[in-house]
Chain A
Amino acid sequence: MSDTISKTVFHADNITKTFPGVVALDEARITLLEGSIHALLGENGAGKSTLIKVITGVHQPDSGIMTLNGQVFEPHSTRDAIAKGVGVVHQERNLIPRFSIAENIFLEKLSAHPMRPINYRQLFRDARKWLDLLGIDADPSLPVSRLSVAKTQLVEIAKALSLNSKILLLDEPTASLTSHETDTLFAILRRLKSDGVSLMFVSHKLEEVQEICDQVTVLRDGRNACESRPLAGLDRQAVVRLMIGRNEQIPDWSARDRSGEETVLELKNVATSLGHKGIDLSLHKGEIAGLYGLVGAGRSELAKAILGKYAITDGSVLLHGKKVEIKSVADAVGKYRIGYVSEDRKSEGLILLHSVLENVGVPVWRRLANLFAPLTNRAIREHTEPYIRKLEVRTPSLDQNMGNLSGGNQQKVSVAKWLAAEVQILIIDEPSVGIDIKTKAYLHELIRELSDQGTAILLITSDMPEMIALADRIIVMNDYQVRGEISNTRVYDTMSQGIMNLIQGEDMSAEEAAPAAS
């Protein structure tokens, strides 16, 4: 430990945790200091989640000691950990949507006395204090379901703080925030830090880690690749090297222009039942067209309207130059060969209850089925297994339940599914949500390779570096409308500036943006 100026709040020493057949944590160590933000990094499966679960009392370690404020800390349940001062903001929302902000913040306290009548006026006043502290501009009596994702996240933080948390664990807090919302969150985290709170920050976004964290602990295969080391002086490459044990390979792809190729998909002045208006968009063979916009710009919704899930109320959709009406997703998949990789793979991308084989086979069942021969697992396996292998999905067998796979492998399966279906147009929505650097790089290469082989790809992502790395052309959306498009020069600064200008509606045409970039 090099930094001993601040007081140690939490310390975990030689934590080992094994599950049948796996050593999840092997003598892992971490030290959290007062008034600092500590990054916990590692690839998927490195043991981050297990460590968090040990600290929050979900799992008990096989060996090792934890101390909190100098006292031995052995939480036997999550409730116990919370009571002793460990606050967590999980990746998945843990609030009750129908309840008010105030009720959610004080849920633990209220449920301790189930029969006592609730003094709402007092409750709202108490909640107000926390909201003000975090700078949340919302009425405490408002139900959480009416809040934006970002504000919901802040309410969770308020809830954790209200429980007198001494340390606060934030598990991928920015995963579904826009860059502006992220900035707001960071301002709040910095303020909490200066108030002396000890924060632990888990994220896959290294840019954010660099921006906000003071120390870093990296886990690799359950062991410390580095322990509680000051982040100052470590550049991105050094962190990546700690995480994956080698240098990150940043693809150095040249800019492409595929606008001369056949137009595979074209939208002309399209309006949808969800409120899109005057959408003009084209997608060429072998092209990756990016659809950039802030969360809530209507990109995923537009994708689903193209697929036929939502009605197109005006304008026309052309596939290979011919006007079509896609009435259902089944038509889009079966007849027109359009695939969609969802941003929300757990609830609408995959069937977690079913096996890998079942999941990867869904779009091809009907094609493989034959009136006179049974549709056997073997037939499905023969058709789909090459793609599973191609994507290097790590699974003990194809019969494994989808839910038992790691996030990265789940994402690979949701892409493999559409490769197996041999789609001509693939819409990929947020391809790298919650997956690690290695898998992300792998998916990027794959997407590029697919387009080189002629698949037209519509890429939706809120991750600007990802967009600039992959897209040939970037279409910017805001408020359910297309604001303009820029061909990608792959020069990060000028591109991101151009995109932000389009979002903010400044009068900057694509012609002006492109030369400025080159």
Chain B
Amino acid sequence: MAIDVRHNQSDAFKDMMANTSQQDAPPRFSITRILLSNEFGLLVLIVLFATIFATISPAFLSKFSLYALGRTAAVNIMIGFSMMVVIITGGLNLSVGAIGVSAAMFSGLLMESFGMPWPLAVAGGLAVGAALGAINGIIIVRTGLHSFIITLATMSIFFGIMIFLTHAESYRGISPVFTGFGRMKLFSIISPLLLVTIVVALGLSVLFRFTALGREFLATGANERAAELSGIRVQRMITYCHMLSGVLAGVAGLMLVSRTGAAIPSMAGQLGQDWLLPAFLGPVLGGTLLTGGRVSVLGTLLGSFLVTMLTTGLLLMQVGAFWVQTYLGLLLLFAVLVDLVRRSYLQRRKLI
């Protein structure tokens, strides 16, 4: 079928052209829109809290403190990304921690017991991450059950098998080059791990903005039935998202190995649960829609960074660790409420 649209220059058509081209550009770049964006809000909060912490405790701005902040943030942001890529499908992945630790332990095994060079071991670890993610995805797609229940189950299964196979023992024979990477300081304040995270963030941005695959992920998450009838292989897309989540969890796990110099079964807590709060905080603060279909890579990055900074800052101010957890919980609640107000304002003005 070839409708010859280019030669259909009726008067009404010309009017339309004039109208559309005039109205096309402005809404996307309006100042109100930027000021009301999630990312801008997060930036304001980051600057605000950084100022508060720096005023109360000057040590906050010390070179080491900034370095440590960046290094921890790098891991937390990666964990946030790992959850984010599943949230966009409208699902979630409770097994991020379990997968991350399993991937890291497998790399440790390859390096210590098989003496593999670190790049191969890293590839092996990420492959495990992808495989475990694929298992999640395939079960979810085949059964049609919600990812919540499936990943709750696989979280226990993956973690249990990992503990059984490793006898709950750490691998300390990690390649010095690999651990050196996690301890390296660039310009005496930047951790290379942070660079890894930024590269991954750029990669994800490109994926969602400039590839058919990324767009298909989002379409699937926003409306699975419509996506399928438009010719998207939705089941495959959901499985891919879970695989990607597994790989990103693996990257986060390997970052921790590189930082601590050992692959430790308990590095994400029992069943990997310690990762859950950072995993959800980043994407939710960053404006990734929990019902799927909308993503903000920059938002997740800033959200996770904010959370890491608050944790570090509060600990520096010698607030007890349990209080920090309470504050983080409050922050999550607060962020969701602010987002609600912001969204309804935008909706009323028809800006989104």
Check A287 for interface membership: any CB of B closer than 8 A: no
Question: By the criterion CB–CB under 8 Å, are A351 and B226 in contact?
Answer: yes
Question: By the criterion CB–CB under 8 Å, are B230 and A362 in contact?
Answer: yes
Question: By the criterion CB–CB under 8 Å, are A390 and B17 in contact?
Answer: no
* Docked complex: A309-355 residues within 8 A CB-CB of B: 309, 328-330, 332-334, 340, 342, 347-354
Cβ of B230: which chain A residues have Cβ within 8 Å of it?
A: 329, 333, 362-363, 417
| Interface hub of B12, B27, B218, B232 (most chain A Cβ within 10 A) | B232
Having A351-B227, A354-B218, A389-B20, one finds 20 other A-B pairs with CB under 8 Å, namely A20-B350, A309-B229, A329-B231, A332-B231, A348-B229, A350-B226, A353-B289, A362-B227, A362-B230, A365-B212, A365-B215, A387-B3, A389-B5, A389-B16, A392-B12, A392-B13, A397-B25, A423-B1, A426-B1, A455-B1
* Docked complex: B281-323 residues within 8 A CB-CB of A: 289, 293-294
Cβ of B13: which chain A residues have Cβ within 8 Å of it?
A: 389-390, 392
Q: Can you list 10 A-B contacts with CB-CB less than 8 angstroms, sorted by A residue number?
A: A329-B231, A333-B230, A333-B231, A348-B223, A351-B223, A363-B231, A389-B17, A392-B12, A396-B27, A417-B230
Cβ of B146: which chain A residues have Cβ within 8 Å of it?
A: none
Check A453 for interface membership: any CB of B closer than 8 A: yes
Question: By the criterion CB–CB under 8 Å, are A330 and B349 in contact?
Answer: no
| Interface hub of B6, B12, B222, B230 (most chain A Cβ within 10 A) | B230
| Interface hub of A20, A369, A389 (most chain B Cβ within 10 A) | A389
Question: By the criterion CB–CB under 8 Å, are A352 and B223 in contact?
Answer: yes
Interface string of A441-474 (1 = CB under 8 A from B): 0000000011001110000000000000000000
CB within 8 Å: A-B pair count: 128
Question: By the criterion CB–CB under 8 Å, are A449 and B3 in contact?
Answer: yes
Question: By the criterion CB–CB under 8 Å, are A375 and B215 in contact?
Answer: yes
Interface residues on B, range: 35 or more
How many Å lie between the Cα of A390 and that of B233 in the bound state?
29
Q: What residue of chain A has the Cβ atom nearest to residue B224's Cβ?
A: A348
Check B31 for interface membership: any CB of A closer than 8 A: no
Check B168 for interface membership: any CB of A closer than 8 A: no
Question: By the criterion CB–CB under 8 Å, are A397 and B23 in contact?
Answer: yes
Question: By the criterion CB–CB under 8 Å, are A376 and B210 in contact?
Answer: yes
- Tell which of A150-158, A275-283, A398-406 binds the partner: A398-406
How many Å lie between the Cα of A221 and that of B206 in the bound state?
44
| Interface hub of B206, B210, B226, B348 (most chain A Cβ within 10 A) | B226
Closest 5 CB pairs of A and B: A333-B231, A374-B210, A365-B212, A369-B212, A386-B5
Cβ of A398: which chain B residues have Cβ within 8 Å of it?
A: 20, 24
How many Å lie between the Cα of A389 and that of B25 in the bound state?
17
Question: By the criterion CB–CB under 8 Å, are A374 and B3 in contact?
Answer: no
Cβ of B209: which chain A residues have Cβ within 8 Å of it?
A: 374
Residue ranges of A at the interface with B (Cβ–Cβ < 8 Å): 20, 304, 307, 309, 328-330, 332-334, 340, 342, 347-354, 358, 361-363, 365-366, 368-369, 374-376, 385-387, 389-390, 392, 396-401, 404, 417, 419, 422-424, 426, 449-450, 453-455
Question: By the criterion CB–CB under 8 Å, are B219 and A362 in contact?
Answer: yes
Q: Which of B3, B232, B233, B350 has a CB less than 8 Å from the CB of A404?
A: B350
How many Å lie between the Cα of A449 and that of B225 in the bound state?
29
Question: By the criterion CB–CB under 8 Å, are B222 and A399 in contact?
Answer: no
Q: Which of B1, B206, B294 has a CB less than 8 Å from the CB of A454?
A: B1
Cβ of A426: which chain B residues have Cβ within 8 Å of it?
A: 1
Check B142 for interface membership: any CB of A closer than 8 A: no
Check B28 for interface membership: any CB of A closer than 8 A: yes
How many Å lie between the Cα of A401 and that of B222 in the bound state?
12
Cβ of B28: which chain A residues have Cβ within 8 Å of it?
A: 397, 399
Q: Is the interface of B mostly helix, strand, loop or mixed?
A: helix
Cβ of A389: which chain B residues have Cβ within 8 Å of it?
A: 5, 13, 16-17, 20
Check B39 for interface membership: any CB of A closer than 8 A: no
Q: What residue of chain B has the Cβ atom nearest to residue A374's Cβ?
A: B210
Interface string of B22-65 (1 = CB under 8 A from A): 01111110000000000000000000000000000000000000
Question: By the criterion CB–CB under 8 Å, are A334 and B1 in contact?
Answer: no
Given A352-B223, A358-B215, A390-B3, are A309 and B20 neighbors across the interface (CB < 8 Å)? no
Q: What residue of chain A has the Cβ atom nearest to residue B24's Cβ?
A: A397
| Least distance between B90 CB and chain A CB atoms (Å) | 11
Q: Which of B16, B232, B349 has a CB less than 8 Å from the CB of A362?
A: B232
Given A351-B222, A369-B211, A453-B1, are A307 and B229 neighbors across the interface (CB < 8 Å)? yes
| Least distance between A407 CB and chain B CB atoms (Å) | 16
Check B216 for interface membership: any CB of A closer than 8 A: yes
| Least distance between A238 CB and chain B CB atoms (Å) | 26
Cβ of B225: which chain A residues have Cβ within 8 Å of it?
A: 347-348
Q: What residue of chain A has the Cβ atom nearest to residue B348's Cβ?
A: A20
Check B8 for interface membership: any CB of A closer than 8 A: yes
How many Å lie between the Cα of A325 and that of B274 in the bound state?
49
How many Å lie between the Cα of A304 and that of B352 in the bound state?
32
How many Å lie between the Cα of A375 and that of B293 in the bound state?
18
